[in-house]
Amino acid sequence: MKNIAALTILLLALTGCATTGSQSPQQAAVTAATLFNGQSSSLIWVPGSSNGISGAMASALIGSAGLDSPIVSGIHQAIAPASKTDVRVAISGTDSTFAAKATIAALNNTSSMLPKLQLAFIGSSADADEVRSAVEVKGGKFLYSAPNGS
């Protein structure tokens, strides 16, 4: 749990609390607490690129990078214990598609089933269906909210 908390703090620090539209990491944390009914959970804030071209390239390549990507590796480390112990994690970020692809890559690079995973995705509904499929294939429970619960 210390590693997950450190990862969350690190990701928040790296993004400088950047926002997407009206969502901030703090607002995503409130949304996550609501989705998990106040149970303890972790928020992974996935930074996105401020440059449209480099962001699109990063989004296209994140799946092939696999665990060599620090973002994918961080998500993987957070969800991997769910094969044996309860894990509640919310994932959001400045670029919904990039956050979704990183999450899917982490799930795809997990060889075991994750029956004790509860993963909340806070982002675009267009990205949520792919994340849902990847979570459910691993036996986990998927929760979803648009940014700010809208």
As a whole number, mean pLDDT of residues 29-36 equals 96
- 0.85 exceeded by pTM: no
In sequence order, the 6+-apart residues with CB closer than 8 A to the CB of 43 are 8, 25, 28, 29, 32, 89, 90, 91, 92
Name the percent of the chain lying above pLDDT 70: 71
N residues, the chain: 150
- The pLDDT value recorded for residue 36 is 97
Q: What are the tens digits of pLDDT across the range 98-111?
A: 899 999 999 999 99
Instruction: Show me where the domains of the chain are located.
Output: 2-149
Q: What are the tens digits of pLDDT across the range 67-90?
A: 668 889 999 999 999 999 999 999
**136 has a pLDDT exceeding 90:** yes
As a whole number, mean pLDDT of residues 31-58 equals 80
- Cα 8 from Cα 105, distance rounded (Å): 18
